[in-house]
Amino acid sequence: MTLCPEAKNRLAAAVQEEVPLASDPFAALAAGLSVGADEVLTQLAEWETQGSLREISAILEGEALGYESALVAARVAPEEIDRVAEVVNRHPTVTHNYQRDHAYNLWFTLAVPEEMGLERTLSILSAEADGVAFAPLRRRRTYKIGVRFSLETSRNDSGVSGAATPVRIRPDERLAAILRALQTPLPLEPAPFGALAAQAGCDEETFLSWAGALRGRVLRRYAATFRHHHLGVLGNGMVVWRIPEERLDDAGRRLAEAPEVSHCYARETVPDFPYSLYSMLHAPDEEGVRRTARSLASEVGVEDYLILFSVREFKKCRLRYLLPELDRWWSERWLAPARP
């Protein structure tokens, strides 16, 4: 049986908010939506086949695991950008890598354990890219992290959601195995956590008990992500704002209140790019992004801003931590300090 459009939208909203950490999460979702569990599974499988549903998995707090991260920008000669992007993409924890329409034309996100070091990692990438300079723009404050795309309105419907300061943990091998399994895409089948538990080397009850205990600590959310282009959200731009320090928090909070804004951060600046507030805007098309940016600029009282549209997407995936591939990448290039 096919879900009606209203039920589809409610299901999409529910799985983007939180998928229950229960033995049969799809039955639990179905009960909350007053539909059948088989209908939930059928719809999720259909979205996956269509390419709309990217995955259901854990969103972890990297800071709690001792990772440091940054948005990184670089000026790359147009004829070299494919080669440099390939170098960057080989790093296992580069998750988003775009060419954008600016002199700073390569933008990517990077997260590494503190013992590897952001600067040391970027120096390795720079050497492999024949000396391209990479500028790390670290996050100073978070005003909003929230992507909840609506099937009905084709826009981001998230409210204001920031990130609390996490408590550091040092996972042993058992916990690391559980965290790796939690980051594995959830199988679309009844009682799917059994497969993840087996991957982690424990039974389902133990696995779910650990997952529940981690919620609010290292586990931020267990939820679905959608490919927004498949949902009719074809316009998205990174809007950067030049704002005096004394007005930064007020502007960040006001931008975060706009439903079209999915992410909003204060970041470090570099001398030739003095923009300190970053926001991601989503709309059905690029003109919609421009209109929203003009409206927000008027509301916040900021005239100096840029919209950086993506020209090409080189890489996009969910960030995963504790990857053996990262240890291999590092050991091939640098003698890593022993991990605790």
pLDDT tens digits, residue range 116-133?
999 999 999 999 999 999
Tokens of 181: 């399994």
pLDDT tens digits, residue range 2-49?
799 899 999 999 999 999 999 999 999 999 999 999 999 999 999 999
Rounded mean pLDDT, 259-272: 94
pTM: 0.88
- Please give the pLDDT value at position 191: 94
Q: Residue 153 and residue 97: Cα distance in Å, rounded?
A: 27
User: In a 3-state reduction of DSSP, which class is residue 146?
Assistant: coil
Instruction: Give the pLDDT band of residue 235 (cuts 50, 70, 90).
Output: confident
Tell the burial category of 163 from Cβ atoms under 10 Å away from its Cβ (0-12, 13-18, 19+): middle
Is residue 59 predicted with pLDDT exceeding 70? yes
- Please give the pLDDT value at position 68: 96
Beta strand residue intervals within the chain, DSSP E? 53-60, 67-74, 94-100, 106-113, 134-137, 139-145, 219-226, 235-241, 261-267, 277-283, 305-316
Enzyme catalytic residues = 96
Rounded mean pLDDT, 50-60: 94
Smallest CA-to-CA distance from 147 within 260, 25, 286, 58 is with 260
Q: Residue 234 and residue 284: Cα distance in Å, rounded?
A: 5
Instruction: Give the pLDDT band of residue 332 (cuts 50, 70, 90).
Output: very high
